[in-house]
């Protein structure tokens, strides 16, 4: 009976944590005021703010002002609206409640006791200070507040051999969506390592574009050559070489545990792609992609993995153009345990000390409860049983229960939430046919 009571208590706690009701009048969806984050719309602008200090969300109140600077240039189409480093002030409208973003930080034991919703500040207004001292008001809504890390894939160790191998392949060997790794380097691709760069506390926002009331009369900023960025779109046919990089955000969340091979996804360029200082792919260009392969987290604490490939580009008002691009960099939560191999495949890292300590602690608890419970059951059923006779059986059952628990533990997941920022690279040349691109952009 004791073990049944413990099981009932555990299920009750899990249910209360996962099914905690929301306050009256709130739905289970994200509660926001003002704009709803929908960066698939051309009228939206992606804004990334870097804060000097960590923000404790639970202490924020209505009217609080958060100060920071733009972490990167802000674009709308082929125009640069604000340069990186511009000061920005955000005013807290109020605290809302929204569903907690999935993560790969902790094992399920911790997640079971983590509330499914969390409080987050909502913003309606922000003010950007331009380099000339003018201020520009923005209508904004919050996407996320995180301490982020930029995870980079590292090139293969034996670059010379890889290049020599590529020279001996047929001309169309790399035409497929996944460049085939050499068998001798398949293990090295996972162990070659990766690099991380801390980005500090970052706020990502959606803002209204000029068409939606951005009240700036300023002309678009000029590029390094002095040309207005609004006039540098390339109207003729061009070819972007393999290796050209682009910065995107995902418009769909994916994970190794829930996504399936063949699942489609969408992304958006957040910076224009240029060729010889001319804009050939404006900000807001949509990319289509798919999940090529994935391995869900498995038993024996083996981590999951996922491979994404982008297969098409859609210019504003244009038809899809086939392409092949893979991931090279991802901006993830600082607590995330994801690494990227040279082929762009993302892997969950090995369980760390905290992860193992939690599972070992739960294993010890299971062993203790199994030992005590089986002894009580035997003594209740067999009247002639003694402590000495039941102790051995209890130890055997405890060892089996704890061993089974450890063997069935799954490894880390790979979780890429919606609006994850990534860098991609073209795996083969991209031909863009001639068009009136320059006149079709805002």
Two structure tokens written together for 147: 């301490």
* Same domain as 366, residue 262: no
State the Cα–Cα distance between residues 227 and 205, nearest whole angstrom: 28
Strand blocks (E) in 228-333 = 238-240, 245-250, 254-255, 264-269, 273-275, 278-281, 286-295, 305-314, 320-333
Helix or strand or coil: residue 348? strand
Measured N-to-C along each axis, helices 2-18 and 353-381 cross at an angle, to the nearest 10 degrees, of 140
Answer whether 127's CB lies under 8 Å from 136's CB. yes
Domain span including residue 36 = 24-156+181-211+228-351+411-440
Residues 40 and 144 in one domain: yes
Distances from the Cα of 37 to the Cαs of 15, 202, 251, 418, 423, in angstroms? 30, 17, 10, 10, 21
Nearest to 291 by CA among 419, 181, 416, 193: 416
Whether 125 and 48 map to the same domain: the answer is: yes
332, 426: one domain: yes
Q: Could you count the other beta carbons within 10 Å of the beta carbon of residue 312?
A: 17
Residue 126 β-bridge partners: 90, 138
Are residues 152 and 292 part of one domain? yes
Measured CA angle at 113 (ends 109, 118), to 5 deg: 130
Please tell me whether residues 280 and 300 are part of one structural domain.
yes
- Structure-token match 């189409």, residue found: 77
Query: Both 116 and 200 in a single domain?
Result: yes
Please check whether residues 257 and 362 belong to one and the same domain: no
314 and 377 belong to one structural domain: no
**pLDDT tens for each residue of the chain, 442 residues long:** 444 444 444 444 444 443 333 333 333 344 333 444 566 566 788 999 998 777 788 788 888 899 999 999 999 888 899 999 999 999 998 888 878 777 777 776 677 777 778 788 888 889 999 999 999 999 998 888 888 889 998 765 443 343 334 333 443 433 334 443 433 333 433 444 567 888 888 999 998 864 444 444 344 444 444 444 444 456 678 899 999 999 999 999 999 999 999 999 999 999 999 988 888 999 989 999 999 999 999 887 788 999 999 999 987 667 789 999 999 999 998 888 899 998 999 999 887 777 677 777 777 777 777 777 777 777 677 766 666 667 777 777 777 877 777 777 788 899 999 999 999 999 999 988 865 444 333 3
Q: How many domains does the chain have?
A: 2
Both 381 and 265 in one domain: the answer is no
Tell whether 114 and 196 lie within a shared domain.
yes
């Amino acid at each position: 009976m004791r073990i049944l009571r413990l099981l009932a208590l555990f299920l009750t706690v899990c249910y209360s944590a996962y099914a905690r009701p929301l306050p009256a009048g709130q739905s289970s969806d994200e509660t926001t005021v003002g704009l709803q984050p929908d960066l698939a719309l051309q009228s939206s602008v992606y804004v990334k703010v870097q804060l000097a200090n960590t923000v404790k969300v639970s202490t924020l109140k209505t009217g609080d002002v958060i100060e920071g600077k733009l972490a990167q240039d802000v674009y709308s189409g082929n125009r640069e609206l604000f340069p990186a480093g511009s000061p920005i002030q955000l005013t807290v409208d109020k605290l809302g409640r929204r569903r907690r973003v999935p993560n790969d930080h902790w094992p399920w034991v911790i997640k079971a006791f983590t509330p499914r919703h969390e409080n987050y500040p909502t913003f309606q207004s922000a003010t950007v200070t331009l380099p000339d001292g003018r201020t520009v008001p923005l209508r904004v809504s919050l996407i996320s507040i995180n301490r982020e890390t930029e995870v980079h894939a590292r090139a293969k160790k034996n670059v010379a051999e890889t290049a020599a191998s590529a020279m001996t392949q047929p001309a169309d060997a790399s035409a497929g969506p996944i460049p085939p790794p050499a068998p001798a380097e398949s293990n090295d691709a996972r162990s070659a390592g990766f690099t991380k760069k801390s980005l500090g506390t970052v706020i990502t926002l959606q803002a209204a574009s000029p068409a939606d009331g951005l009240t700036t009369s300023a002309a678009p900023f000029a590029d390094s050559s002095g040309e207005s960025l609004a006039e540098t779109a390339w109207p003729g046919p061009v070819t972007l070489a393999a290796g050209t990089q682009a910065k995107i955000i995902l418009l769909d969340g994916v994970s190794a545990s829930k996504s399936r091979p063949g699942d489609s996804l969408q992304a958006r360029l957040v910076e224009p792609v240029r060729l010889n200082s001319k804009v050939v792919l404006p900000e807001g260009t949509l990319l289509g992609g798919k999940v090529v392969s994935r391995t869900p987290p498995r038993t024996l604490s083996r981590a999951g993995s996922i491979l994404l490939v982008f297969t098409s580009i859609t210019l504003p008002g244009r038809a899809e153009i086939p392409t092949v691009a893979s991931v090279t960099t991802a901006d993830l939560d600082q607590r995330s345990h994801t690494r990227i191999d040279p082929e762009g495949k993302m892997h969950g890292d090995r369980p760390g000390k905290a992860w193992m300590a939690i599972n070992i602690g739960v294993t010890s608890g299971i062993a203790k409860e199994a030992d005590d419970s089986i002894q009580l059951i035997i003594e209740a059923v067999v009247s002639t049983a003694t402590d000495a006779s039941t102790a051995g059986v209890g130890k055997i059952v405890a060892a089996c229960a704890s061993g089974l628990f450890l063997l069935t533990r799954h490894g880390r997941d790979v979780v890429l939430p919606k609006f994850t920022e990534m860098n991609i690279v073209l795996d083969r040349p991209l031909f863009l046919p001639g068009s009136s691109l320059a006149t079709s952009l805002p």
